[in-house]
């Protein structure tokens, strides 16, 4: 994939949810907080119209895509903080075919489970 490096103009922090110091007064459980493990420069990747039509009505309909320089560290069990929002990583499309390659990280907004 050809991509201009200046499109990667924001930081994406990758990590996991861990038990925080605050306690939910209703349940007594600790409130989970995001803990970053590493970060990468990233940018939004726009789907074409045909790609948008293709994912309409599927489980990927409410997702967006972030592009980062290739790394083997990202997996679909992680969370990512990008552009002020927290997301679940849905899938990673890796490309390590060249020295300068990129990964497409499909993400979905993180929703706190209230159960």
Residue 57 DSSP label: T
50-88 tens-digit pLDDT: 776 676 777 677 888 899 999 999 999 999 999 999 999
Residue 48: per-residue pLDDT: 65
- Contact, 38 vs 14, CB < 8 A? yes
Largest separation between any pair of C-alpha atoms in the chain? 52
**Tokens matching residue 30:** 């600790």
In DSSP terms, which residues pair with 44 in a beta bridge? 66
- Tell me the percentage of the chain whose pLDDT exceeds 70: 88
Question: Regarding predicted confidence, which is higher, 19 or 88?
Answer: 88
* pTM for the whole structure: 0.84
Identify which of 85, 91, 92 has the alpha carbon closest to the alpha carbon of residue 34: 85
Task: Measure the CA–CA gap between 68 and 5, rounded to whole angstroms.
Answer: 10
Is 23 a residue whose pLDDT tops 80?
yes
Residue 88: per-residue pLDDT: 96
Is 26 a residue whose pLDDT tops 60?
yes
Task: Please calculate the CA angle 94-104-13 and round it to the nearest 5 degrees.
Answer: 105
């Amino acid at each position: 994939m050809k991509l201009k490096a200046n499109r990667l103009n924001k930081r994406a922090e990758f990590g996991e949810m861990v038990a925080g110091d605050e306690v939910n007064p209703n349940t007594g459980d600790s409130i989970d907080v995001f803990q970053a493990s590493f970060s990468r420069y990233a940018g939004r990747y726009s789907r074409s119209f045909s790609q948008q039509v293709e994912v309409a009505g599927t489980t990927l309909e409410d997702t967006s895509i972030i592009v980062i320089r290739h790394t083997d560290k990202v997996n679909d069990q992680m969370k990512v903080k990008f552009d002020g929002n927290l997301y679940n990583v849905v899938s990673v499309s890796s490309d390590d075919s060249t020295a300068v390659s990129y990964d497409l990280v499909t993400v979905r907004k993180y929703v706190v489970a209230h159960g």
